Copies of this chain bind each other. A is one copy, B any other.
Amino acid sequence: MIGRLNHVAIAVPDLAAAAAQYRGTLGADVGAPRALPEHGVTIVFVTLPNTSIELMEPLGEASPLAGFLQKSPAGGMHHLCYEVADISAAAARLEAEGARVLGPVKTGAHGRPVLFLHPKDFTGTLIELEEATP
């Protein structure tokens, strides 16, 4: 069912510093910051030859990253995003197998439908599913 690894998301306390480090120290191709107020984050994509790294900084008071960064002030890996062909079919299959789908399908950073799966159901890893571009 899962296809490509669309991206790995890393929560960071200082997006400008993290972007500068990926661009400078690691010599990667780093995009411009984009605010996603509906997700409570500002993001930057690091484009690698085969996938992307999404650096995310909290945006606003109710950011879902606030708790994460309270526990891990230096930042850390936050979630993995796998592509699926049909997000409704994927959600139905996963729910039938007892996995908890978190909230309704939303529109993700690439303008595609996304949903999240409970990390406790997947070896402590928060998984995002994104419907791949047809």
Q: Please give the residue numbers on chain A whose beta carbons come within 8 Å of chain B beta carbons, in ascending order.
A: 1-5, 8, 10, 12-13, 18, 21, 24-28, 48-51, 53, 55, 72, 74-77, 80, 82, 94, 97, 99, 119-120, 122-125
Are A80 and B8 in touch, CB under 8 angstroms? Answer: yes
Q: How far is the CB of A58 from chain B (nearest CB, A)?
A: 13
Q: How far is the CA of A90 from the CA of B1 in the complex (A)?
A: 36
Sample 10 A-B pairs with CB under 8 A, ordered by A number.
A1-B26, A2-B26, A2-B48, A4-B49, A5-B48, A5-B53, A50-B51, A72-B124, A76-B119, A76-B123
List of B residues within 8 angstroms of A77 by Cβ: 8, 77, 80, 124-125
Residue of B13, B48, B76 near A125 (CB, 8 A) is B76
Q: How far is the CA of A128 from the CA of B80 in the complex (A)?
A: 17
